Amino acid sequence: MRPTAFSSTRRWRLPAMGLVALLCALPTSLVAAETFQSRYHDYRVETVVDGLEHPWSMVFLPDGDQLVTERAGRLRRIQQGTLVAEPVAGVPELVVAGQGGLLDILLHPDFADNRILLLSYSHSNMDGMTTRVAKARYRDGRLEDVEVIFEALPRSNTSRHFAGRMAFDEDGSLYIAVGDRGEMDRAQATDDDAGGVHRISLDGKPAPGNPWLNEPDVNDTFFTYGNRNIQGMVRHPRTGAIWSHEHGPRGGDEINILTRGTNYGWPEITYGIGYSGLPITDQTHKPGMAQPLHYWDPSIAPSGMDFYFGEAFPQWQGDLFVGALKFQKLVRLRINDKLEVVEEEDLLTDLNDRIRAVYQGPDDALWVLTDETNGRVLRLTPP
């Protein structure tokens, strides 16, 4: 079924005299916010904080604060709506190069009790660069007991496609996306950690139930392979399934539901072409390789994703929201019970900001990170 597409980001306007009267009546904190229209809801966009250097990921702490990663290598704290000047101490050693730096942050499901969080990042040594994951305890504005629990091998000298998105499943196993590192044939090599999703326990060991635990020719942390560069991953709050999206080359960005032991086909099959304009392959289907739930052509460069089940926007409940870097927008997707995208709407197109990540916050607002030198944390609420 072909999705219905809308591009409905429009500023809400009043006649001049009415606007003046409204602004005079509003509290100062609301005057800076803009109101937009979409197919189902009007919504306000306010800047919570700015001054972040390429923010990449964010978590909400039980005390109401937020932690935000900057790709430049800093972990920042937002306390009562204000960006704390001093970065969080104790971030593990990392390298900032190309697409690499400090990437995803994820709270352990029992964070309120154990204070454990996870960080993904790029790391470099004399053998090259790779994607790493460390766990740590967060206390009083600093990280303690930092321990590396995953490192993708072998390393390489490219500075692309680190991926790095993470998610926990209902059993507490950790899913880690590793990109093909810009060397596409590695995504089909099952003795190479690049180009797939790895599933581990918190001690860094392969998670129980992984599909290739007894296969000597396949790395035992693999859950899926044939993935190019996953930059969005989330657990569906109702079904528990892990959803992801990944960058295609020129076209062929994909949304997938991650299924145990599945080959997602890159680069043997793709709906995209090479950056040179030449085909990568003439195949979009092959036996034993999964088809995407949805794909974009041309590419939107998706990054970040979350489902919305809040009360603030009742007619968006169940919809999937995806950030877009290249086309600088937030995409709302409606998916039916047959797992078909039946509606697609573009939001925030007037902001001219690359959207790096999107979250449903504990306040039922949608929170968005903009991937800019002066990056912002935005909050979408009803007018």
Catalytically annotated residues:
161
Q: Please tell me the distance from the alpha carbon of residue 58 to that of residue 77, in angstroms, as a whole number.
A: 10
- Tokens, residue 369: 């990170």
Q: With the C-alpha atoms ordered 161, 165, 169, 174, is the resulting torsion angle positive or negative?
A: positive
Query: With helix as H, strand as E and coil as C, how does 25-71 read?
Result: HCCHHHHCCEEEECCCCEEEEEEEEEEECCEEEEEECCCCCEEEEEC
Q: Please tell me the distance from the alpha carbon of residue 155 to that of residue 372, in angstroms, as a whole number.
A: 28
Q: With the C-alpha atoms ordered 174, 362, 348, 49, is the resulting torsion angle positive or negative?
A: negative
Q: Please tell me the distance from the alpha carbon of residue 364 to that of residue 376, in angstroms, as a whole number.
A: 19
Helix (H, G, I), strand (E, B) or coil at 282: coil
Helix (H, G, I), strand (E, B) or coil at 22: helix
- Tokens, residue 316: 């968006």
Bridge partners for 36 per DSSP: 11, 43
Contact predicate 101/73, CB 8 Å: yes
Helix (H, G, I), strand (E, B) or coil at 247: coil
Closest CA to 356 of 323, 379, 328: 323
Q: Please tell me the distance from the alpha carbon of residue 168 to that of residue 199, in angstroms, as a whole number.
A: 9
Q: Please tell me the distance from the alpha carbon of residue 76 to that of residue 188, in angstroms, as a whole number.
A: 37
Q: Please tell me the distance from the alpha carbon of residue 71 to that of residue 120, in angstroms, as a whole number.
A: 11
Contact predicate 55/70, CB 8 Å: yes
